[in-house]
């Protein structure tokens, strides 16, 4: 099958477009309208076979996650999705694989209301790069540098589930998982960034970041760029019942702080916004928890507190190239 037919067949599924796609797939570039008084936001993430997913992960899950992790970056800005491009390197043309991959991609495209607008298919080791585009009201993006003194620090959903699930993937190949384990594995395979909630949150919050590298590492970026410090109440970390059931409270806290791959949001906002944020979260069926406060002493410092005493975490946030 020729490249063009292949792309046509598997990547031209029907899509929920937002009316902003003027020309989609099929020309040298896609053409989009960016609504008046809005700015464009863009981000890119690559998933590599054996690094970001297991080689035998279901193609539909790989596809879903490839888009979800990028939509998570749009959510962190409070952006409305406009479209995404997909660059995929494939070792060979495997129609069954492509069909399954395409179905997972289509599901994510529908779930997050973001259309596929362009792509590139090449021969090579399995590598998937998604570039997302979105729009924000001019100068209203939630930036890492905009946290303010005394802001509450919030987290959406639960953290730590995905990290705990890493160890479950192999187990699932040889034996049945219990209900809690299956839940955790699903959290790893199918991230669900709170994109519609985040779009409205941009009016209420000062700063935000998505939790992809672990809460401490990612909150650290807010502290660095906002030149401030923070106090985190370990007892307030949002941990799922399933996580505690599977790994125990202590390990659950470690995964929540340093685990990564959660694709939830960490954001900061004024005290006076508390009720509005809680109401918004209820409207969008998103869990939110206040876990700490932005401070200005010892800039960059992250103070962890449990029952009024300092809490010592085992290791710093995740890095791609660790020493």
Which conformational region is residue 72 in: left (phi greater than 0), alpha (psi within -120 to 50 degrees), or beta? alpha
- Contact in structure between 256 and 160 (CB atoms under 8 Å): yes
Contact region with a copy of itself (CB under 8 A), list: 112-120, 227-235, 239-247, 290-298: 112-120
Q: Is 30 in the site for a copy of itself (CB under 8 A)?
A: yes
Task: Please identify which residue in 16, 95, 99, 123 interacts with a copy of itself, judged by CB under 8 A.
Answer: 123
Q: Is 179 in the site for a copy of itself (CB under 8 A)?
A: no
3-state secondary structure of 309: strand
Q: Is 86 in the site for a copy of itself (CB under 8 A)?
A: yes
Task: Please identify which residue in 66, 85, 102, 293 interacts with a copy of itself, judged by CB under 8 A.
Answer: 85
Q: Is 40 in the site for a copy of itself (CB under 8 A)?
A: yes
CA distances from 17 to 112, 114, 136, 197 (A): 11, 7, 17, 19
Contact region with a copy of itself (CB under 8 A), list: 1-9, 253-261, 270-278, 289-297: 1-9
Least Å distance, CB 310 to a copy of itself, is 25
Backbone φ and ψ of 131, nearest 5°: -120, 120
- Print the binding letters for residues 189-228 with a copy of itself: x by CB under 8 A, - otherwise: -------------------xxx--------------x---
Q: Which is nearer to a copy of itself, 223 or 243 (CB)?
A: 223
What's the gap between Cα 25 and its chain centre?
25
How, if at all, do strands 116-123 and 207-211 pair? unpaired
Task: Please identify which residue in 62, 77, 162, 204 interacts with a copy of itself, judged by CB under 8 A.
Answer: 77
HSE (CB half, 13 Å, CA atoms) of 114? 28
Q: Which residue has the tokens 């909150």?
A: 219
């Amino acid at each position: 099958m020729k490249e063009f037919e292949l792309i046509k067949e598997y990547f031209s599924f029907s899509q929920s477009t937002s009316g902003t796609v003027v020309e989609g797939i099929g020309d040298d570039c896609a053409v989009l309208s960016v609504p008046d008084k809005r700015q464009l936001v863009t981000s890119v993430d690559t998933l590599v076979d054996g690094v970001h997913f297991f080689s035998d992960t279901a193609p539909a899950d790989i596809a879903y996650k490839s888009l979800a992790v990028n939509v998570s970056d749009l959510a962190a800005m409070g952006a409305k999705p406009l479209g995404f491009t997909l660059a995929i390197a494939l070792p060979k043309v495997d129609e069954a694989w492509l069909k399954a991959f395409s179905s997972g991609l289509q599901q994510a495209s529908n779930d997050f209301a973001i259309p596929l607008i362009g792509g590139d298919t090449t021969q090579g080791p399995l590598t998937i790069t998604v570039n997302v585009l979105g729009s924000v009201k001019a100068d209203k993006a939630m930036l890492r540098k905009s946290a303010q003194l005394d802001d509450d620090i919030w987290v959406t959903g639960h953290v730590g589930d995905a990290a705990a699930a890493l160890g479950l993937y192999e187990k699932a190949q040889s034996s049945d998982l219990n209900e809690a384990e299956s839940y955790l594995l699903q959290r790893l395979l199918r991230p669900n960034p709170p994109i519609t909630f985040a779009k409205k949150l941009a009016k209420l919050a000062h700063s935000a970041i998505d939790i992809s590298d672990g809460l401490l590492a990612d909150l650290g970026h807010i502290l660095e760029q906002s030149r401030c410090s923070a106090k985190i109440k370990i007892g307030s970390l949002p941990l799922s019942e399933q996580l505690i059931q599977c790994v125990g409270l202590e390990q659950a806290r470690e995964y929540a702080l340093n685990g990564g791959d959660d694709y939830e949001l960490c954001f900061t906002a004024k005290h006076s916004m508390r009720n509005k944020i809680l109401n918004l979260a209820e409207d969008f069926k998103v869990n939110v928890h206040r876990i700490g406060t932005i401070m200005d002493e010892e800039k960059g410092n992250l103070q962890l507190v449990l029952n009024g005493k300092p809490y010592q975490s085992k290791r710093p946030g995740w890095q791609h190239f660790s020493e």
